[in-house]
Amino acid sequence: MRLSANPTTDTVLKLATVSVAMFAFVFVVMVPLYNVLCDALGINGKTSAQAYTAVDAAVDTERSITVQFIATNNDGMPWEFRPQVTAMAVHPGAANDTVFLRLTQRLSIWLLRPSQVFRLLAQQNTSTRRNVFVSTSSRSREKVIR
Amino acid sequence: MGDHHHGPATGIGRWLFTTNHKDIGTMYLWFSFAMFILGGTFAMIIRAELFQPGMQLVEPGFFNQMTTLHGLVMVFGAIMPSFVGLANWLIPMMIGAPDMALPRMNNWSFWILPPGFLMLASTLFMEGGAPAFGWTFYAPLSTTYAAPSVTFFIFAIHILGVSSIMGSINIIATVMNMRAPGMTYMKMPLFVWTWLITAFLLVAVMPVLAGAVTMMLMDIHFGTSFFSAAGGGDPVLFQHIFWFFGHPEVYIIILPAFGVVSQIIPAFSRKPLFGYASMVYATASIAFLSFIVWAHHMYTVGMPVAGELFFMYATMLIAVPTGVKVFNWITTMWRGALSFETPMLFCIGFLVLFTIGGFTGLMLSIAPADFQYHDTYFVVAHFHYVMVAGAVFSMTAAVYYWLPKWSGRMYNETMGKVHFWISFVGFNITFFPQHFVGLAGMPRRIPDYALQFADFNMMSSIGAFIYGASQILFLYNVLATIIAGEKVTDDKVWDGAEGLEWTIPTPAPYHTFEVPPKLDAAHA
């Protein structure tokens, strides 16, 4: 289709039409299409027209899952860090507690060479605040042995 | 001014009112270099702040303004206009046309750029500071939480978008209608081909960017809620629209670079380009694929698994045509009579480093792995390998390659080679360590970082200062060439160079191909 007898004008008119159409495309195609897709796929908060109703979480006693715990400790560290139990059988949905042990620095110091003691003392301010704990439940925070 | 064969006008009027493609090309090139220096200055501030951990030089808010403006100025001010300048200079000379198809629009599309960037830069001095939301300006950072200067930013984006659209319409109209008789599409130099395809990409996606900033403007000032969840909109919609523009945009930047490399490597290999037709088809394939991969920039935003898989596989597919290109360049060099002048060095540097950037791109394309890499310095390293070592290196190669034809003077080869090696080493010292800190978890766009990243960041900063300084040498070399370089008189400056632009006198006269050239056997 020729929009103009002059081939250059023809090209320019067609391209100008394309760019105007692409500008319109953003508003009249992309926005509605995005909403349709989010509705269809149930994502980005556009789950349905109805308000979300919470369902109570229940413990599934039918199923049992084994959760294993592991801790690695760099050889250079002046303390020991390990899980108290290495495996637990749990039911989905249930809260369980476990404890990771860290041998205190006072105990460890006796195992150190003098040069390491100095380094440890220098680091003490920061390292004492870095008690790492891992648990299946946040409630176990208090139970970590310090 | 009555004589048809007049030369350039005198004084400032020559530049303000010119419709000559060579003048406009020159202005584009100088403007983009000025923006390159400006954006580079922002980068130096970023690297100076990151030289050591802790807050050293600037406020965090100002740091964010620097990362944002660095990205915007480099993408829209330095790289894109530089290639438009190259297109203006070269496309008419390569296809045997007397000028661009729309010379007056050409003047206008250049002259709205400086005010646009002046406005963008002026936001630095406004209350609340410049845009600080990253060059991707995600909503709601760029809408609800933006500084008041965001409105000026939106206007600046509109201006440079209009400039790009006009420039690309001009290029398409020129290539489609003004080729010399006998210059069929499949005889066009590859630089013309890559720019033709790039121009189509620009016409298709710059309006999308304009749409995105228009929606921002309406959300900020006119009470709409395109990107506001409170009003029924969705901030994620912004990311989809932005990257629907943004991914083609990165190919808009790199495809002309491919074209430049496809001109220069054959010249210094003294062999025709290997696989010309496959190069054209590969370029077209990359352009097509660029429209269906945008969401690989937003894997972590929450998409259905099917979506992640689609975008992952589509993205990986891009490696195929890109690989075709890389292998074609290598095959062109294979058993060629190679020589290593500065343009060739930059092209080989491009080839090696762009391939590294391509491979890290493949790593990022893997959706599950991207959850680890997303928004880390690994991404920063990746896109600087493709943007700097890709686009900027090839642009530098182009300046060294065509400068003797433009100015009639030869640059200093030793200085050129020194520039290459300082750039190459400086670039790698800057960006290679960023792979490591990224994989180790350092997030991008932060003014301070954890202590374990200190050594690599210091290396990065030193490399950045070296790379930045090497550009001053480049500027000096170009100026010294134009003012007092050794005169060149051969039409064909490089013995291996092919193409119509090497059949016209050196320096290129103000008007060329007023009578269409007859294509001889070498070009037909």
Structural domain contains residue B457: yes
Considering only the beta carbons, identify the residue of A11, A22, A46 that sits closest to B172.
A11
CATH number of domain containing B209: 1.20.210.10
**Which residues of chain B make contact with A23, given a CB cutoff of 8 A?**
207-208, 210-211
Chain-chain contact of A23 with B207 (C-beta, under 8 angstroms): yes
Residues A49 and A76 in one domain: no
Is B339 labeled as catalytic in the residue annotation?
no
Residues A49 and A69 in one domain: no
Token pair of B286 as six digits: 């990359």
Considering only the beta carbons, identify the residue of A15, A30, A41 that sits closest to B169.
A15
Residues A75 and A7 in one domain: no
- Cα distance between residue B132 and residue B210, in whole Å: 19
Structural domain contains residue B394: yes
Chain-chain contact of B177 with A25 (C-beta, under 8 angstroms): no
For residue B413, the model assigns a pLDDT of 96
| Closest Cα in chain B to A16 | B169
- Cα distance between residue B393 and residue B411, in whole Å: 17
Is B417 labeled as catalytic in the residue annotation?
no
Structural domain contains residue B511: no
- Cα distance between residue B422 and residue A43, in whole Å: 50
For residue B178, the model assigns a pLDDT of 95
3-state DSSP of B442-509: CECCCCCCCHHHHHHHHHHHHHHHHHHHHHHHHHHHHHHHHHHCEECCCCCCCCCCCCHHHCCCCCCC
| All residues at 6 or more sequence positions from B456 whose CB lies less than 8 Å from its CB, including other chains | B433, B434, B436, B437
- Cα distance between residue B405 and residue B267, in whole Å: 14
Residues A73 and A132 in one domain: yes
Considering only the beta carbons, identify the residue of A16, A45, A46 that sits closest to B169.
A16
For residues B284-297, b (16+ Cβ closer than 10 Å) or e, as one string? bbbbebbeebbbbb
Alpha-helical segments (H) within B123-234:
150-177, 190-221
- Cα distance between residue B214 and residue B248, in whole Å: 19
Neighbours of B133 (CB within 10 A): 22
Structural domain contains residue B21: no
| Closest Cα in chain A to B225 | A31
For residue A127, the model assigns a pLDDT of 42
Q: Is it true that the peptide bond before B140 is cis, omega within 30 degrees of 0?
A: yes
Structural domain contains residue B203: yes
Considering only the beta carbons, identify the residue of B102, B177, B203 that sits closest to A19.
B203
**Which residues of chain B make contact with A31, given a CB cutoff of 8 A?**
226, 237
Q: How many residues appear in chain B? A: 524
In B201-260, the residues whose Cβ lies within 8 Å of chain A are 203-208, 210-212, 215, 226, 229, 234, 236-237, 240-241, 244
For residue B39, the model assigns a pLDDT of 97
Under a CB-based contact definition with an 8 Å cutoff, are residues B289 and B324 in contact? Answer: no
Considering only the beta carbons, identify the residue of A12, A31, A45 that sits closest to B226.
A31
Chain-chain contact of B169 with A7 (C-beta, under 8 angstroms): no
Distance of CA B286 to the CA centre of its chain: 16
Under a CB-based contact definition with an 8 Å cutoff, are residues B66 and B58 in contact? Answer: yes
Q: Domain span at residue A23?
A: 1-53
Provide the domain count of chain B: 1
Structural domain contains residue A59: no
For residue A77, the model assigns a pLDDT of 74
For residue A12, the model assigns a pLDDT of 95
Token pair of B260 as six digits: 């430049």
Task: Fill in the DSSP letter of residue A87.
Answer: E
Is B325 labeled as catalytic in the residue annotation?
yes
> CA of A18 to nearest chain B CA: how many angstroms apart?
7
| All residues at 6 or more sequence positions from B19 whose CB lies less than 8 Å from its CB, including other chains | B99, B103, B104, B106, B107
Residues A72 and A48 in one domain: no
ipTM metric: 0.90
Q: What is the DSSP string of A21-78?
A: HHHHHIIIIIHHHHHHHHHHHT-TT---SSPP--------TT--EEEE------TT-S
Is B3 labeled as catalytic in the residue annotation?
no
Residues A83 and A138 in one domain: yes
Structural domain contains residue A47: yes
**Full-model pTM:** 0.85
Provide the domain count of chain A: 2
In A43-72, the residues whose Cβ lies within 8 Å of chain B are 43-46
B173 in contact with A at a CB cutoff of 8 Å?
A: yes
Structural domain contains residue B508: no
Place of tokens 């090139």: B29
What residues does B385 pair with on adjacent strands?
none
Structural domain contains residue B513: no
**Which residues of chain B make contact with A16, given a CB cutoff of 8 A?**
169
Residues A98 and A130 in one domain: yes
Is B247 labeled as catalytic in the residue annotation?
yes
**Which residues of chain A make contact with B213, given a CB cutoff of 8 A?**
none
For residue B4, the model assigns a pLDDT of 53
Chain-chain contact of B234 with A44 (C-beta, under 8 angstroms): yes
Structural domain contains residue B12: no
A130 in contact with B at a CB cutoff of 8 Å?
A: no
Q: Domain span at residue B99?
A: 27-502
Considering only the beta carbons, identify the residue of A8, A27, A44 that sits closest to B302.
A44
Under a CB-based contact definition with an 8 Å cutoff, are residues A59 and A92 in contact? Answer: yes
Structural domain contains residue A72: yes
**pLDDT one digit per residue (tens) for chain A, 146 residues:** 888 899 999 999 999 999 999 999 999 999 999 988 888 877 776 655 666 677 777 888 899 989 898 888 777 777 778 888 899 998 888 888 888 887 765 444 444 454 544 454 444 444 443 444 444 443 333 344 43
What residues does B443 pair with on adjacent strands?
B376
- Cα distance between residue B361 and residue B374, in whole Å: 12
∠ CA B158-B164-B167, nearest 5°, is 140
- Cα distance between residue B35 and residue B84, in whole Å: 14
Chain-chain contact of B177 with A41 (C-beta, under 8 angstroms): no
Residues A85 and A17 in one domain: no
Under a CB-based contact definition with an 8 Å cutoff, are residues A145 and A102 in contact? Answer: yes
> CA of A39 to nearest chain B CA: how many angstroms apart?
12
Chain-chain contact of A31 with B207 (C-beta, under 8 angstroms): no
Token pair of B8 as six digits: 């350039």
**Which residues of chain A make contact with B452, given a CB cutoff of 8 A?**
none
**pLDDT one digit per residue (tens) for chain B, 524 residues:** 444 556 788 888 899 999 999 999 999 999 999 999 999 999 999 999 999 999 989 999 999 999 999 999 999 999 999 999 999 999 999 999 999 999 999 999 999 999 999 999 999 999 999 999 999 999 999 999 999 999 999 999 999 999 999 999 999 999 999 999 999 999 999 999 999 999 999 999 999 999 999 999 999 999 999 999 888 889 999 999 999 999 999 999 999 999 999 999 999 999 999 999 999 999 999 999 999 999 999 999 988 889 999 999 999 999 999 999 999 999 999 999 999 999 999 999 999 999 999 999 999 999 999 999 999 999 999 999 999 999 999 999 999 999 999 999 999 999 999 999 999 999 999 999 999 999 999 999 999 999 999 999 999 999 999 999 999 999 999 999 999 999 998 999 999 999 999 999 999 999 999 999 988 655 54
For residue A136, the model assigns a pLDDT of 41
- Cα distance between residue B80 and residue B84, in whole Å: 6
